[in-house]
Amino acid sequence: MEAQKTKILATLKKQFPNPGAMELGDPYRTLTAVIFSARTRDEQVLKLLPAFFAAYPTVRHLALASPAQIQRKINTIGLYRQKAKQVSRMAREVVARFDGEIPNTMEELVSLSGVGRKTASVILVACFHTPAIAVDTHVHRVTNRLGWVKTKTPEKTEEALLKMIDKKWQSTVNRVFVKFGRSICLPGKPRCYLCPIRASCQFKHKNFVTPKSVEAIEQDIARREKELEALRQAV
């Protein structure tokens, strides 16, 4: 069973080799981007980040900005008022409590405003090379469909996955399953006709009906991945 999970993750890693769209190397930038990305398309966030970080290049600069000032820089994304307040509080807390350095432990990260376990896990993996599994709706859905877990919430999914996935593969889980879940293992009607791991899937309602537009769908998946990586590289 362990070998099968590893094989699935390795297969998807070949298909989706790029880092997560919000993985920007620097902890401050990555944390801010992940907070902005909640319930918002990655493209929208990535497009505003160059100007945002030009205005607020460090967490100390951001800590000096008011929520109203931040709002004006991010008003093209959903929930921008709430997110402006979150990153404003987060920045002030990082300066006051951590001397301007984004903390590198789960306990410290989740103590910050706007940071839950999912966000903290992304930061630990992307910036501090610490094993963790960020579970969002895509990771939760896909792992349940595969039969790896039988859970009702992302929190329970994370708990189960951390016990069963080898640490050296934990960083891969979110990176591949988010992209896989957005492009192939869709909620509702998945695109099983495009799935490279369908033989290992336990989902009972597979969709093998290949539409006439399958070539266009494949091209669109590849195009979006290419565009996201170009936007990520430009931040």
- Tally of domains within the chain: 2
Alpha helices in the chain (DSSP H): 2-15, 27-37, 42-55, 59-63, 67-74, 80-98, 106-109, 117-128, 137-146, 154-164, 167-183, 214-234
Provide the CATH number for the domain around residue 82.
1.10.340.30
Domain that holds residue 123: 27-128
* Stretch 48-63: mean pLDDT: 98
**Do residue 209 and residue 151 come from a single domain?**
yes
**Do residue 202 and residue 185 come from a single domain?**
yes
Residues 70, 73, 76, 78, Cα dihedral to 10°: -20
Select from 103, 136, 133, 138 the least CA-distant residue to 121.
133
**Do residue 121 and residue 160 come from a single domain?**
no
* Stretch 71-79: mean pLDDT: 97
Q: pLDDT digit string (tens) for 114-146?
A: 999 999 999 999 999 999 999 999 999 999 999
| CA distance linking residue 107 with residue 121, whole number of Å | 11
pLDDT above 80: residue 212: yes
Last residue of a domain, one of 83, 112, 128: 128
* Stretch 192-217: mean pLDDT: 97
| CA distance linking residue 149 with residue 156, whole number of Å | 9
Tokens of 43: 């493209």
Last residue of a domain, one of 128, 152, 182: 128
**Do residue 74 and residue 97 come from a single domain?**
yes
Select from 39, 33, 34 the least CA-distant residue to 56.
33
Residues 27 and 58 sit within 8 Å (Cβ to Cβ):
no
Q: Determine the pLDDT at residue 3.
A: 87
**Do residue 115 and residue 200 come from a single domain?**
no
- pTM reported for the whole predicted model: 0.94
Q: Determine the pLDDT at residue 1.
A: 62
Other CB atoms within a 10 A radius of the CB of residue 108 amount to 15
**Do residue 33 and residue 122 come from a single domain?**
yes
